[in-house]
């Protein structure tokens, strides 16, 4: 696998500012710089949107490439979006679902992911390290 596309959903643009006790104090832009240094031999793309349709468009854009894996943190849409779940089911590229917090230790509505059944793996509660672990997993599968 040569390329990885990280797709972050709603409110994840606020990482480093929003509830640091849950999500940490590091912005995703700074964390992304670290990921690029950890994986210098791979092209890593990053996209964040608060809009469901934009997330689906990006899944479609990258999800049919042979040498691409997707790391998807659909955030709150994980629990509500049939449309994103359908987009994940439709693409050929493997998708790993990531959640920064342990969704199972939070509100009951977060315990069910509509996306997870269409993913090759789900990581939850590992903080930002979950993204690195997801990339490692995808690279080892190829």
Sign, Cα dihedral of 86, 73, 35, 31: positive
Residue 7 sits in a domain of what CATH number? 3.40.50.9100
Helix, strand or coil, per DSSP, at residue 53: helix
Round to whole Å and give the CA distance between 22 and 24.
6
| Boundaries of domain holding 123 | 3-141
Catalytic center residues: 23, 99
Total structural domains in the chain? Answer: 1
The size of the chain, in residues, is 142
Q: Which of 64, 62, 46, 34 is nearest to 7 (CA)?
A: 46
Q: What is the pLDDT of residues 7-65, one digit of tens each?
A: 999 999 988 887 777 777 788 899 999 999 999 999 999 999 999 999 999 999 999 98
Name the percent of the chain lying above pLDDT 70.
Answer: 94
């Amino acid at each position: 696998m040569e390329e990885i596309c990280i797709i972050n959903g709603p409110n994840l643009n606020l990482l480093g500012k929003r509830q640091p006790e849950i999500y940490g104090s590091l912005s995703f832009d700074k964390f992304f710089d670290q990921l690029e240094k950890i994986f210098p031999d791979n092209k890593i793309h990053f996209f964040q949107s608060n809009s469901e349709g934009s997330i689906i468009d990006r899944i479609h854009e990258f999800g049919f490439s042979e040498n691409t894996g997707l790391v998807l943190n659909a955030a709150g849409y994980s629990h509500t979006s049939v449309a994103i779940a359908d987009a994940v089911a439709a693409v050929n590229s493997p998708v790993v679902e990531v959640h920064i917090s342990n969704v199972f230790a939070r509100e009951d509505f977060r315990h069910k992911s509509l996306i997870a059944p269409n993913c090759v793996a789900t990581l939850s509660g590992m903080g930002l390290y979950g993204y690195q672990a997801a990339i490692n997993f995808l690279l080892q599968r190829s």
